Structure 1
Amino acid sequence: MTWTQNFTPVMDNLYVSALVALIPILYFFWALAVKRMKGYVAGLTTLLVALLVAIFAYGMPAGKAIMSASQGAVYGILPIGWIIITSVFLYKLTVKTGQFDIIRNSVLSITEDRRLQALLVAFSFGAFLEGAAGFGAPVAISAALLVGLGFNPLYAAGLCLIANTAPVAFGAIGIPIIAVEGPTGIPAMEISKMVGRQLPFLSVFIPFYLIIIMAGWKRTMEVMPAILVSGVSFALTQYLSSNFLGPELPDILSALVSLFALAIFLKFWKPKNIYRFASESEAAATAESAPKTYTGGQIFKAWSPFLVLTATISLWGIPQIKLALQGHYEGTNAILKAVNSIGHSLTFVPEVPGLNNLILNGQGQPIPAVYKLELLAAAGTAILIAALITKFIVNISFKDWFITFGETINELKFPIITIASVVAFAYVTNASGMSTTLGMTLAKTGALFPFFSPFLGWLGVFITGSDTSANLLFGNLQKITATSVGMDPILAVAANSSGGVTGKMISPQSIAVACAAVGLAGKESDLFRFTVKHSLFLVTIIGIMTFLQSNVLSWMIP
């Protein structure tokens, strides 16, 4: 029996319905920011609140609400949870075998300054991982690296979440922008051009903002040349690649240019004062008195697990290979056909019982609902293969390899519950129509819509944890509303993606991923309190920029 979504279920009034739809979101904010609940408790109770609102306020049949939660929970475990498990596992292998000590030393040989380490690892290397893999891998791996270098875990997670704003719109080989072409009918290249005329301004600002957060104004000025090299090289490459090559490569190219530009620059320039955290000054002085030196071969071996990781997740992102891993390749290449055969046997897409095509959207169209289990194509599997290759590089026994894997799963059991529950909450919110109600309310802002347009993307990413999902959720609504208020629809759709990147740092699943990676399971509330003010500040900047581009700087629109 079908059920039709109703976006004004309470008193047949959009605004009252929107207030009711806000209840689960406000509860989640309260649970983390005020009550400081453990992440999995906040996640599970938020899911319960969302189910109650969906059933009793939106009239969604209880069975359908529960099954939509199950669909989200499964997606939270695979692919998202799987990425976290394998990322942390790979990192733990390098720690357990002593290779991370060499990695730490090699970074220190470039610079011992904590400000510059944050730029290299959180901003540039994290952006590269975002471009190649997306999902939770960038924050998980770069945050773990910073913790290994000696950063406070909460600080490391927060800095990586904030740094991750610049590359998110072009993440996972451009998927967020490629995906929104479908529902909007606007060519991905045009959206890519517009996003590439918004985010570079943020990309220049983010390195500066990161160091301000870390060290304050005076110490930021001390490394301004390095900040400019890092940010300007990234932003310029991001603009050029997004406007002349397309949405697939801006992150990877920008990250590599930024990483190498800063590393080369630091060979010739050093800050006058080395910045360290107050708690480590004594330890740092001790370390300086007996510096260790390693050969080039030792350094290469230590970094090899992450070089292999880069290779595998880049390989998994190549469109033709991705199709083969999913079992959808139709070409003639013999190797890819063999991979396709394996991928097909390891891909399962069962219908969600009691839900698939049984919910009708506002246009009366059935909404498909499947459990998407791509065991081989998942980015986590690419990372697991990197971890398997690492076993032979670092010469760890299979027994210890499996023991470390077991330890990783045991450490991450509560974060995985958190991730599964918050993604389930997102799915309930979408299936019931709550998120559409909120989107329609923001779309009623009339002449101010260009300012609020990015907030719609911000809200979408907060709810779903994904810029891709937010674009699919609100992309067409942005286009329709923009046309009705006299705003260029290309700008509105691009603003959805650009605004969405600032919501990533407070998305429940991003918070859970970051805490899991740095061993702060249960401390999600602390990280949320750290990032929420920065998220609101940055989305406001995007809102002002979009308003100006719509009304004053319209020549910037392609």
Structure 2
Amino acid sequence: MAGTALATTFAPSTDAVAGNLTASALVGIIPLLTFFILLAGFKLKAWYSGLGALAVAIVVAIFAFDMPVSLTALSAAQGIIFGLFPVMWIVVAAIWFYELTVVSGRFEDLRRVFNSIGRGDIRVQAMLIAFCFGGMLEALAGFGAPIAITGAMLIALGMPPLRAAVTVLVANTAPVAFGAMAIPITTAGSLTGIPATEIAATVGRQTPLLALFVPLLLLFLVDGKRGLRQAWPIALVTGVVFAIAQFWCSSHFSYELTDVVASLAGLAAAIVMLQFWHPSTPDDQLSQVEPERLSKSRVGLALFPYLLVIIVFGVAKLWTIGFDLPSWLDGTDRTVEWPGLYGNLVTGDGSPSESAIYKFSWLSNPGTLLLICGVLVALVYTVFTHSGRFPMSIGRGVTAFGATVAKMWLAIATVATVLGLSYVMNQSGQTVAIGTWLAGTGTVFAFFSPILGWMGTAVTGSDTSSNALFAKLQQAAGHTAGIDPTLLVAANTSGGVVGKLVSPQNLTIAATAVGQPGSEPILLRKVIGYSAVMLLLLCTLVYLQSTPILSWILP
């Protein structure tokens, strides 16, 4: 076969298997099925499942899609490197940035700030902690960190464990698309060639719909109909402001900062409203946390890291007065024509495939900007350190970075292998064959598009991994079915938002955080209905956006 020879060029085909599209699609889907079966069926770790699926994808690429061995290996290598940088570089930097607040002791002050905002009402505090602070943690860290942290915080308020777990799981929906500095969207843009800014703007016309209702749902989860009846105004204001900020920031500011801005805006709106209104709080909904009056300096230092992130990213993305900083930063990017792959991997007309170009954004990368923010935070916290309560030094910051990398090595390996799998499937033609085949459903595919994102995130626990698996497929289906590919790629991202609610990985994190290991089946039964309703809402919205009924709302 041609796949066993070192051919000079290779152009992927949608009918490589027996000259038939259906046969090619069914064979091409085998690596995805392998990944899901190993992960969900055999319950292997995601790292092993990704590695096994990558091996199967390589075999399928070589022997079924006739991709030369050398090009297949180079394709896998490009995907793995992309998984390491920029994807996991951003995630590691984000989690380290959060860890600085923990090792410095300032995180406890931030927790006290949230405890004082709700005036002792558990329902209001739970909503603000799970939704606003959880959204901020999702923006900076993601990968289960918001669930673990906010779950423990709700337990400290006196909330029953399972109720706390369900609350934080539901809250960790609307912000997920823009989590970890919007890395799911950045990944989708890199894989499809669609500008990430365009995908982000479209997602910003979808997930804010969830943000409108999630705070109200959280009140219901915490205190049933009574909580909803007594505290709905504060939830409505928080949700509306969060949604508006998410919509605006995704299109007009830095899309990487969307959740940071939306979370702070929602929190600020709640604080302002509570100056003039507060719910009547039943005795059984009073917080068990003793309030502590914090000095203005301690409050300022607790909030400093998150305000600094907005300033640094805002300047880096928007500063054009006297000097065009965004253009200068973009000018430091380096493009690498992947050796051995570029020029040999070609499109149908024989021109070099742009997918074989690797973009090395070493300075403009969000991970690097977060690193700069982290260094500044470490310096400020070191200057204002106090032995005992706030012990901080540059050495502790460096140690925290090493500990973050060590703690995340499995996640790093998993994402790297999933991206390797994605690149092999994309560049060999497997993904395009599947997408073209699915597009046979016609315009109705827009309705089912979010389901793929939901499934990918439900199984992998990561919206980033879901986009790595399906973004290119969604794009191919859109081209064939005559549906805007940007809409479908965004739908994949938005569908993944509600898939995270039922992900086994997240269920385990939630159960552990509230001290109820083994309660995952109970949690699944409690949240799966909410996930299904939210998914149906998104499917309907995306379908209407693909028609003249709501197409006007798209950017």
TM-score band, normalised by shorter chain: 0.7 to 0.9
- Counterpart residue number, 2:24: 17
Q: In 2, Cα distance between the equivalents of 1:28 and 1:254?
A: 35
- Counterpart residue number, 1:263: 271
Compute the displacement of 1:444 (Å): 0.6
AA at the equivalent of 2:272? I
| Secondary structure, aligned partner of 1:446 | helix
Given the alignment of the two structures, is residue 361 of structure 1 paired with residue 347 of structure 2, yes or no? yes
Which moves more between the two structures, 175-184 or 82-91? 175-184
Q: In 1, Cα distance between the equivalents of 2:112 and 2:205?
A: 38
RCO comparison, higher one (Cα < 8 Å, 6+): 1
- Counterpart residue number, 2:71: 64
Given the alignment of the two structures, is residue 323 of structure 1 paired with residue 334 of structure 2, yes or no? no
Deviations 1:411-449 (Å, cap 9, x if unpaired)?
Answer: 122221112111222212211222212211221113533
Compute the displacement of 1:103 (Å): 0.8
Rate the CA distance shift 1:315–1:504 in 2: closer, same or farther, 3 A: farther
- Counterpart residue number, 2:234: 226
| Secondary structure, aligned partner of 2:32 | helix
Q: In 2, Cα distance between the equivalents of 1:179 and 1:43?
A: 20
Q: In 1, Cα distance between the equivalents of 2:131 and 2:317?
A: 21
- Counterpart residue number, 1:424: 420
Given the alignment of the two structures, is residue 164 of structure 1 paired with residue 160 of structure 2, yes or no? no
Q: In 2, Cα distance between the equivalents of 1:174 and 1:463?
A: 9
- Counterpart residue number, 1:381: 368
Rate the CA distance shift 1:459–1:324 in 2: closer, same or farther, 3 A: farther
| Secondary structure, aligned partner of 1:372 | strand
Is the Cα contact below 8 Å between 2:79 and 2:419 reproduced in 1? yes
Compute the displacement of 1:292 (Å): 2.5
Is the Cα contact below 8 Å between 2:90 and 2:183 reproduced in 1? no
Which moves more between the two structures, 364-373 or 88-97? 364-373
| Secondary structure, aligned partner of 1:355 | coil
AA at the equivalent of 1:370? I
Rate the CA distance shift 1:307–1:275 in 2: closer, same or farther, 3 A: farther
| Secondary structure, aligned partner of 2:62 | helix
Q: In 2, Cα distance between the equivalents of 1:512 and 1:421?
A: 18
| Secondary structure, aligned partner of 1:360 | coil
Rate the CA distance shift 1:228–1:95 in 2: closer, same or farther, 3 A: same
- Counterpart residue number, 1:503: 496
Compute the displacement of 1:262 (Å): 2.4
| Secondary structure, aligned partner of 2:267 | helix
Could you say what the CA RMSD is over the residues aligned between the two structures, in angstroms? 4.7
AA at the equivalent of 2:279? K
Q: What TM-score results when the alignment is normalised by the length of structure 1?
A: 0.74
Rate the CA distance shift 1:89–1:126 in 2: closer, same or farther, 3 A: same
Q: In 2, Cα distance between the equivalents of 1:376 and 1:401?
A: 21
- Counterpart residue number, 2:538: 542
Match 1:149 to one of 144, 147, 153? 153
| Secondary structure, aligned partner of 1:541 | helix
Q: In 2, Cα distance between the equivalents of 1:503 and 1:80?
A: 17
| Secondary structure, aligned partner of 2:91 | helix
Given the alignment of the two structures, is residue 401 of structure 1 paired with residue 388 of structure 2, yes or no? no
| Secondary structure, aligned partner of 1:376 | coil
Rate the CA distance shift 1:10–1:52 in 2: closer, same or farther, 3 A: same
5 Å matches for 1:191-270?
198-209=206-217, 223-236=231-244, 254-267=262-275, 268-270=277-279
Rate the CA distance shift 1:93–1:129 in 2: closer, same or farther, 3 A: closer
Is the Cα contact below 8 Å between 1:121 and 1:146 reproduced in 2? yes
Compute the displacement of 1:3 (Å): 0.7
Compute the displacement of 1:33 (Å): 2.6
Q: In 2, Cα distance between the equivalents of 1:70 and 1:17?
A: 24
- Counterpart residue number, 2:112: 105
5 Å matches for 1:291-310?
291-310=291-310
- Counterpart residue number, 1:335: none
- Counterpart residue number, 2:389: none
Q: Any gaps of 5 or more consecutive residues in structure 1?
A: 329-343, 483-488
Is the Cα contact below 8 Å between 1:87 and 1:140 reproduced in 2? no
Rate the CA distance shift 1:219–1:14 in 2: closer, same or farther, 3 A: farther
5 Å matches for 1:126-145?
137=141, 142-143=146-147
| Secondary structure, aligned partner of 1:162 | coil
Compute the displacement of 1:225 (Å): 2.9
Deviations 1:83-107 (Å, cap 9, x if unpaired)?
Answer: 2222222222222221111111111
Deviations 1:319-368 (Å, cap 9, x if unpaired)?
Answer: 84343224x1xxxxxxxxxxxxxxx4xx5443322211322234543213
AA at the equivalent of 1:260? A
Is the Cα contact below 8 Å between 2:498 and 2:535 reproduced in 1? no
Q: In 2, Cα distance between the equivalents of 1:253 and 1:389?
A: 20
Rate the CA distance shift 1:11–1:178 in 2: closer, same or farther, 3 A: closer
Aligned residues: 509
Is the Cα contact below 8 Å between 1:195 and 1:498 reproduced in 2? yes
- Counterpart residue number, 1:332: none
AA at the equivalent of 2:78? Q
Is the Cα contact below 8 Å between 1:67 and 1:354 reproduced in 2? yes
Q: In 2, Cα distance between the equivalents of 1:350 and 1:103?
A: 43
| Secondary structure, aligned partner of 1:66 | helix
Q: Any gaps of 5 or more consecutive residues in structure 2?
A: 1-7, 156-160, 383-391
Given the alignment of the two structures, is residue 481 of structure 1 paired with residue 453 of structure 2, yes or no? no
- Counterpart residue number, 2:3: none
Is the Cα contact below 8 Å between 2:261 and 2:310 reproduced in 1? no
Q: In 1, Cα distance between the equivalents of 2:491 and 2:400?
A: 39
